Amino acid sequence: MRRAEHSSAFSAFGSPKAKLLLLGPAGPQHADLIAKARSFSIEHVSPALFVQQEISRRSVPGSLRPDQLTLAVLRKWFWARKPDAGFLLEGFPATLLQAKVFDEWLEARGETLTAVLVPADLSSEALAKDDVVTHHRTQGLLLEASPAAA
């Protein structure tokens, strides 16, 4: 697995067109990464916020499971955004199925990810067992999103 230092995580932000995933929930320990993304005019995307907005609009069919709802709102965001716009997508994909669907969306638009950031506080054992991490590891995209400076 390619585990990089904090400075390498920041180097992924080298362009306003960077397309980044932050696996797992982004907590206060990742505020510096999110601020860096904003400084490059990279959109910070929170699926949880999108889901809350859809629920508050009452535009969500009651028959959707949470994972279906997440995919639906992310699909809506993904296809509405400008193809050359960068993003930092937090907490998605959360499952291997979501990762494969997201790969298909990227491929359909001729786009590729810049990097996939994993929280530094995840144990090596947890990383080894995580299907989403393994999926992105095989693509050579993983960087450690360490909250401490290198």
Domain count, the chain: 1
Q: Is residue 150 situated within a structural domain?
A: no
Give the start-end residues of each E strand in 7-141.
19-22, 43-45, 87-90, 115-119
Q: Token pair 């990279």 is at which residue?
A: 42
Report yes or no on whether pTM surpasses 0.75. Answer: yes
Calpha distance 7→85 (Å, rounded): 23
Domain that holds residue 63: 6-145
Q: Token pair 């889901």 is at which residue?
A: 51
Q: Is residue 107 situated within a structural domain?
A: yes
Q: Which residues of the chain have pLDDT under 50?
A: 1-7, 147-150
Calpha distance 119→116 (Å, rounded): 10
Identify the pLDDT of residue 103.
96
> What's the distance, CA 81 to chain centroid?
15
